[in-house]
Amino acid sequence: MGKDVNRINAIIRYCDKIEERMDEFGRDIEDFIDNPAYHDLCSFYMSQIGENVSFLSPEITKKYPEISWRGMIELRNSIAHGYDGMDLEIVWSTITKKIPVLKKTCEKILREYRTP
C-alpha cells in the first residue's frame, strides 16, 4: 500500500492544483475555454492524475468503484496523444464534476489506510 499512498497523495495534490487554477482564472466554462493557459494547465494536471491512477494497485481500484479509474487513464491518454482534438467542454465537465469526487475518494482512501 506504500506506493499507492504516494500515488494517492500525488492525485490529491493535482486535484488541489486544479482547484487553485479555478480560483485564479474563474469558475465559468467561458473563463476556461477563452484562456489557453487555463486549459493547458488543467489538462496537464489531469494527465498527471491519469498517470498516477495507472499505477494504482487493483486492490484500490476494485475497492472504490465509484471512481471511473479507467476513464481517468483514458482521459490522460487522450490529452497526451490527441491534445489538439480535445473537447474543452468534456475537460471542463471532468474538472467540475469528477475531480472533486476523485479528491474526496482519495482522501477517504488515505483515512481508511491510516485507521488500524
Which tens digits make up the pLDDT trace of 61-73?
A: 999 999 999 999 9
Does the CA dihedral 22-28-33-34 come out positive or negative? Answer: negative
Q: Cβ(103)–Cβ(12) under 8 Å?
A: yes
Separation between Cα atoms, residue 104 and residue 81, nearest integer Å:
28
Say whether pLDDT at 116 is over 60: no
Give the distance from CA 40 to its chain's centroid: 14
> 73-101: per-residue pLDDT in tens?
988 888 888 756 778 898 899 999 999 99
Q: Cβ(67)–Cβ(107) under 8 Å?
A: no
Instruction: Tell me the average pLDDT across 99-111.
Output: 95
pTM, two decimals, is: 0.92
